[in-house]
Structure 1
Amino acid sequence: MNFSAEYRIQGILGSLHAPLIVGGCLSTGAILKVRGYPDEFTELPLRLAFVRNWGFLLILIPLGWVVLTIWLERHQAIWFSKRWTVATGIAVGGMMGWYLLGTLVLAGSSIIQKLG
């Protein structure tokens, strides 16, 4: 079996994680821009500031998941199977979706307060 067919699950789930992250980060930035927060506004809560300025680093989470699951499958861990790959991939996507959805809700809420 060739490499691309053997690790198709990682490719599919990883390609679903990436637009989730990009869309969440861009949407958070757009909501903050529409609400009147300038780009250099640094007194945002840490969660919003991170996603707005450094959210692209979240792509390291699915990248790490892909590398880890491929490594576990190649080293034939007795307990790890394709079923675990799918389950952990869905869990990673769900957790990132939940985090980014919460960030969007926070960015759109009227209770953002200045730090300090």
Structure 2
Amino acid sequence: MKALTRDHFTRPPVFLAILQMGVVLVGVFGTGMAMKVGGFDDDYQPDLLHTTIRNVGGLLLLVPTAWAVISIRLEAKPDSRWTPHWSMASGLLLLAVLVVFFSRTLTSVW
């Protein structure tokens, strides 16, 4: 296995992971704000999903981080069939899943 170099950290998976983390942050903070605006406070919890996202949603930042690390490691293996095209496709798919998940979460609070 090749050693990870500086070039590995300027590849598209890193930028996609940063974009995915931005979606997670907007989704988590947006869910909390939507719950406050909607009149939900700490005493009344609307449902488990929204409450969990508001309280521990920051842990979802581990998903893009894990994806980026795994993708970069797989690309660095000399005998791997994982190509940068697979990294882009899987990263865009994860980004789409995160956007759909948080958009449904944000719109269902209202």
Task: Please report the TM-score for the alignment, with normalisation by the length of structure 1.
Answer: 0.82
The letter of the residue matching 1:21 is V
Tell me whether 83-92 or 68-77 shows the greater mean CA deviation.
68-77
Post-superposition offset of 1:23? 0.6
- The letter for the 2-side match of 1:107 is V
Kindly indicate whether residue 26 of structure 2 is the aligned counterpart of residue 23 of structure 1.
yes
1:41-70 residue CA offsets vs partner (Å, 9 max, x unmatched): 363322111111111011011011011111
Point out where structure 1 has 5 or more consecutive residues left out of the alignment: 109-116
Equivalent position of 1:63 in the other structure: 65
Q: In the superposition, relative to structure 1, how do residues 34 and 4 fare at CA in structure 2: closer, same or farther (>3 Å)?
A: same
Query: When the two structures are superposed, what TM-score results if normalisation uses the length of structure 2?
Result: 0.86
The CA distance in 2 between the partners of 1:4 and 1:18, in whole Å, is 21
Q: How many matched pairs?
A: 106
Q: Please, which moves more after superposition, 66-75 or 40-49?
A: 40-49
Consecutive unaligned residues in structure 2, runs of 5 or more:
none
Cα separation, 1, equivalents of 2:45 and 2:67: 32
Corresponding residue of 2:76: 74
Percent of aligned pairs with the same amino acid: 25
- Computed over aligned residues only, the root mean square deviation of the Cα atoms, in angstroms, reads 1.7
Residue aligning to 2:43:
41
Partner deviation per Cα, 1:1-58 (whole Å, 9 max, x = no partner): x8333441111101111111111111111111011111x2363322111111111011
